[in-house]
Amino acid sequence: MPTAEDPDPRPTEDPFADLVLDEEFVRAATVKEPSGRARMLTERWKRHPPPEAEPWRPATEVRRGRFGRRAGRADRPGRIRRGGRGWQTPVFVVLAAAVTLAALNVDRLRDWYQGSGDGSASSAPALPTAKPGSGAQQDPTVDHPWAGSPAEGWGSGAEALALPPAQAVGAFSEQQVAEQLGLVRDFLAASNLDPAVIAGGRPEAALALLDLKGHDAADAALAKPADGADPTSWFSRFDPREAVQVGGAVKLQGRMSVAGDGDNGVLVHTDFTFVYAMRPGPEAGRRAASPKPSASRGPSAPGGSGGDGGAKPVGWVQPVADAPGNTPTARTIVRRVMTFRFYDPARYRANPKKINISERSSDVGNTACQVFDGFYHPEFPQFARIAPDPRQSGPAVDPYDDKRAMPKEGDTGDCGTASRT
């Protein structure tokens, strides 16, 4: 019976009772209902049409970042939207700050780098901050006798007397030339490096190496020093009452070469500069204020030191054994240019174990002007001169310059001033 809500009579059977909604039925449907998202996008694109996709890039391309960064989705041409903030930004900020601070304090950064590693300072030598002799830190003392000197880095001892390679020359074999070079080195060491000789002693070892003629000439000069026959033209000697060697080391630099003498013999040429660090002896003050014996050649110390006793002592020097480490010292520079000759034994009567000095010349920086008593007389900074020595008429010269022309043997020349010691 029909009701008020449903006036039409209902069919007694369901027309869809036998309908089966299987996959085949769904695929065969001619009308398909769009999904909710499709309807939403259709409405949005009606108002804001999407841009055309670039033919070389799919609209939904995903770009992957380097170093494992989170991928971003390209939903707009030329733009990537990241999934979150990367870690690079704070790292770059920290690095930029560190570089800025380092640039503001380069010196402290260098010190930190040199002291890092094993916790100790770098072993590289420090560069000088001033020219030699330009400040108090360059003034030589007993503790630092080579301060401000070009010779500070030179070698010392007989090992620094470098020998050239031996080779057969004239009548002599390679082995014989090697022995001759050894004799020359022994003579230079005995006459310039022996502490006893430097302290004013008799150079017995050096004399024993000379041939008869040379031995007699040097022995006569030692007995009676004079102008043109002063022992310092052969040997480096100081009066220990006036000057005492500091430390026992002699700095030296030079060269040695071998050549034929044109008469089937051998010539050995040597050019060495010897530098002596000296401190005042126990009588240095008294001797600086008194006349010196008659004279020695060569440029004297800056400010002059003559034999007329124009010095003004500013304090007596303590005994040598008690000299403190801050006692000012002085350096004397001796350059010797010598030629040794070894004669052909088949043509000349000569002892192959002795040396003959064919030529010799020396130039000295920081010694008394025109004093020929067999000793060098360095000037010390403790004793200031009232006036320069009038006998110093020569120009100022650099005693370390080994390119200067040497005076000839026996030529006293002009007495100049050393530009540095």
Contact at 8 Å (CB) between 151 and 276? no
Contact at 8 Å (CB) between 332 and 276? yes
Could you give the CA distance from residue 237 to residue 332 in angstroms, rounded to a whole number?
11
Contact at 8 Å (CB) between 317 and 289? no
Contact at 8 Å (CB) between 260 and 248? no
Using alpha carbons only, give the angle 124, 126, 132 rounded to the nearest 5 degrees.
140
Q: Alpha-carbon torsion 88, 90, 91, 95, what sign?
A: positive
pLDDT value for 7: 53
Angstrom distances, CA of residue 371 to CA of 291, 294, 297: 10, 5, 7
Tokens of 257: 């070469």
Q: Which residues of the chain have pLDDT under 70?
A: 1-21, 26, 29-32, 51-88, 91, 101-137, 287-322, 384-394, 408-414, 416
pLDDT value for 101: 66
pTM of the shown model: 0.63
Could you give the CA distance from residue 203 to residue 193 in angstroms, rounded to a whole number?
11
SS3 199: coil
Alpha-helical regions (H) of 193-283: 195-198, 204-209, 212-223
Could you give the CA distance from residue 135 to residue 129 in angstroms, rounded to a whole number?
10
Maximum alpha-carbon separation in the chain: 169
pLDDT value for 58: 45
Using alpha carbons only, give the angle 330, 320, 190 rounded to the nearest 5 degrees.
65
Q: What are residue 418's phi and psi, to 5 degrees?
A: -80, 130
Q: Alpha-carbon torsion 137, 246, 208, 214, what sign?
A: positive
pLDDT value for 44: 81
pLDDT value for 415: 73
Domain residues of the chain, as ranges? 137-418
Predicted confidence (pLDDT) per residue in 237-275, tens digit: 999 999 999 998 999 999 999 999 999 999 999 999 999
Predicted confidence (pLDDT) per residue in 342-358, tens digit: 999 999 998 989 999 99
